[in-house]
């Protein structure tokens, strides 16, 4: 083989392999080799529709968002209670344990994965039991059993034992100032924040199937594979806490930023941040302004309340996420 073809081959090998990758495992003890179709691992809602177990506007004819995937049990005891263990998907650290059944997630665990290409959280909900040895801040290896699959929930409609599943989420934390923001909202007076920063409103998920199902994953590349659905101009000369925690999502002259051009995915994740100079035409007069909308994603943006029903003005969720993001500039 000539030097040139050897070099070409080497180049091909290097570009074909991800240069960075995080080891990842399926988050339950189900045998992956048993998967033939999505029905083999998904637990649909009572509608029976497979897609209702997936991520997206998959419920109530597209009106209700599901922020994770629902994984069914492979084994049950004589009473029909699941025997599947729930496993840490990646190496990480325990961020939050909720041992009480006091909200829609029921008993749940949140892990933080600081060593991934971007430090994402993963969330494991509706657990029957949380492993008693698990403590906040404890390091956890991928594949470690963190609980037992169940059907715990204190949501509007209980989950029956027949619909036992692991609700699995992966995503980013909007703001470390969330607790202060939450307490300042008049509508929250009657409902205290039971989960602090790990309240679902402060967690913004992406499709778990972007990372699951392979032995290694580039979590950042998976996150970046989400297309921009709308863009917003923000005015702030202080660094948003989100950018401080996820600097890999930001580009431009950060130290001189007078504001930010923020690209959101359809479900409300601020995935790309570009620093704006004081003279930028994208810099709004007020705190923030909706700039562009991908018309191909308009319907889903309206369903998700990222846009108002007119499809032109900011929706409730976009407004809330921006207020939360701006609640902690530093
Ligand atoms: Zn779910």
pLDDT digits (tens, 9 = 90+) for 215-238: 999 999 999 999 999 999 999 989
Report the chain's mean pLDDT, rounded to a whole number: 93
The candidate with the shortest Cα–Cα distance to 171, out of 320, 67, 251, 95, is 67
Kindly state the average pLDDT of the residues 141-145: 98
| pLDDT above 70 (res 106) | yes
**Domain boundaries of the chain, sorted by first residue:** 22-220, 226-326
| pLDDT above 90 (res 17) | no
In this prediction, residue 6 has a pLDDT band, given cuts at 50, 70 and 90, of low
How many angstroms separate the CA atoms of 209 and 55, rounded?
8
| Residue 252 CA, ligand 1 centroid: distance in Å | 37
| Residue 245 CA, ligand 1 centroid: distance in Å | 27
How many angstroms separate the CA atoms of 269 and 109, rounded?
21
| pLDDT above 60 (res 139) | yes
176, two tokens: 């470390």
How many angstroms separate the CA atoms of 34 and 46, rounded?
24
| Residue 166 CA, ligand 1 centroid: distance in Å | 7
177, two tokens: 């100032």
| pLDDT above 80 (res 47) | yes
| pLDDT above 60 (res 151) | yes
155, two tokens: 């949501």
Q: Per residue in 176-199, pLDDT tens?
A: 999 999 999 999 988 889 999 999
DSSP letter at 67 equals -
Give long-range contacts, CB 8 A cutoff, 24+ apart: 293-299: 293/229, 293/230, 294/227, 294/228, 294/229, 294/230, 297/227, 297/229, 297/230, 297/266
| pLDDT above 70 (res 255) | yes
How many angstroms separate the CA atoms of 316 and 319, rounded?
5
| Residue 126 CA, ligand 1 centroid: distance in Å | 9
| Residue 319 CA, ligand 1 centroid: distance in Å | 25
| Residue 118 CA, ligand 1 centroid: distance in Å | 23
How many angstroms separate the CA atoms of 263 and 238, rounded?
19
The candidate with the shortest Cα–Cα distance to 264, out of 286, 242, 236, 287, is 242
SS3 229: coil
User: Which CATH fold topology does 22-220 show?
Assistant: Glucose Permease (Domain IIA) (2.70.70)
| Residue 53 CA, ligand 1 centroid: distance in Å | 7
| pLDDT above 80 (res 118) | yes
| pLDDT above 90 (res 84) | yes
* Contact (Cβ atoms closer than 8 angstroms) between residue 40 and residue 34: yes
Q: Between 233 and 17, where is the model more confident? A: 233
The candidate with the shortest Cα–Cα distance to 165, out of 268, 66, 62, is 66
| Residue 68 CA, ligand 1 centroid: distance in Å | 6
pLDDT, position 7: 58
How many angstroms separate the CA atoms of 7 and 14, rounded?
10
Report how far apart the first and last C-alpha atoms of the chain are (Å, whole number). 57
| Residue 181 CA, ligand 1 centroid: distance in Å | 26
How large a percentage of the chain has pLDDT more than 90?
Answer: 85
| Residue 37 CA, ligand 1 centroid: distance in Å | 19
pLDDT, position 60: 87
| pLDDT above 70 (res 99) | yes
| Residue 168 CA, ligand 1 centroid: distance in Å | 7
Residues ≥6 apart with Cβ < 8 Å to 80: 161, 162, 164
- Predicted model pTM: 0.92
Q: For residue 324, how far is the Cα from the chain centroid? A: 16
| pLDDT above 80 (res 174) | yes
Give the helix ranges, DSSP H, for the chain: 3-16, 178-183, 219-224, 241-245, 298-303, 316-326
How many angstroms separate the CA atoms of 106 and 218, rounded?
30
Residues ≥6 apart with Cβ < 8 Å to 279: none
Kindly state the average pLDDT of the residues 15-38: 83
| Residue 154 CA, ligand 1 centroid: distance in Å | 13
| Residue 317 CA, ligand 1 centroid: distance in Å | 19
């Amino acid at each position: 083989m000539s030097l040139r073809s050897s070099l070409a081959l080497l180049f091909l090998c290097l570009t074909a392999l991800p240069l960075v990758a995080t080891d990842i495992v399926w988050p339950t003890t189900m045998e992956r080799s048993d998967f033939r179709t999505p029905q083999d691992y998904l637990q649909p809602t009572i509608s029976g529709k497979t897609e209702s177990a997936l991520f997206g506007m998959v419920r109530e004819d597209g009106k209700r968002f599901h922020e994770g995937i629902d994984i069914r049990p492979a084994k049950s005891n004589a009473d029909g209670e699941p025997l599947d263990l729930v496993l840490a998907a990646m190496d990480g650290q325990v961020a939050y344990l909720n041992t009480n059944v006091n909200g829609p997630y029921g008993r749940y665990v949140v892990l933080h994965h600081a060593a991934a290409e971007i430090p994402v959280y993963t969330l494991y909900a509706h657990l029957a039991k949380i492993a008693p040895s698990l403590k906040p801040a404890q390091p956890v290896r991928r594949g470690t059993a963190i609980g037992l699959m169940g059907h715990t929930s204190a949501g509007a409609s209980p989950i029956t034992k027949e619909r036992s599943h692991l609700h699995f989420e992966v995503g980013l934390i909007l703001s470390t100032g969330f607790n202060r923001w939450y307490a300042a909202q008049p509508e929250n007076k009657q409902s205290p924040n039971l989960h602090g920063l790990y309240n679902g409103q402060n967690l913004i998920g992406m499709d778990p199937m972007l990372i699951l199902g392979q032995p290694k994953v580039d979590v950042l590349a998976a996150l970046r594979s989400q297309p921009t659905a709308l863009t917003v101009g923000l005015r702030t000369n202080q660094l948003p806490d989100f950018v401080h925690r996820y600097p890999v999502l930001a580009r431009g002259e950060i130290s001189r930023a007078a504001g930010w051009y923020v690209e959101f995915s359809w479900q409300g994740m601020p995935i790309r941040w570009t620093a704006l100079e004081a003279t930028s035409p994208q810099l709004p007069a007020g705190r923030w302004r909706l700039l562009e909308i991908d018309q191909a994603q308009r319907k889903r943006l309206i369903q998700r309340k990222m846009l108002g029903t007119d499809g032109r003005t900011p929706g409730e969720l976009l407004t809330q996420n921006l207020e939360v993001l701006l609640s902690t500039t530093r």
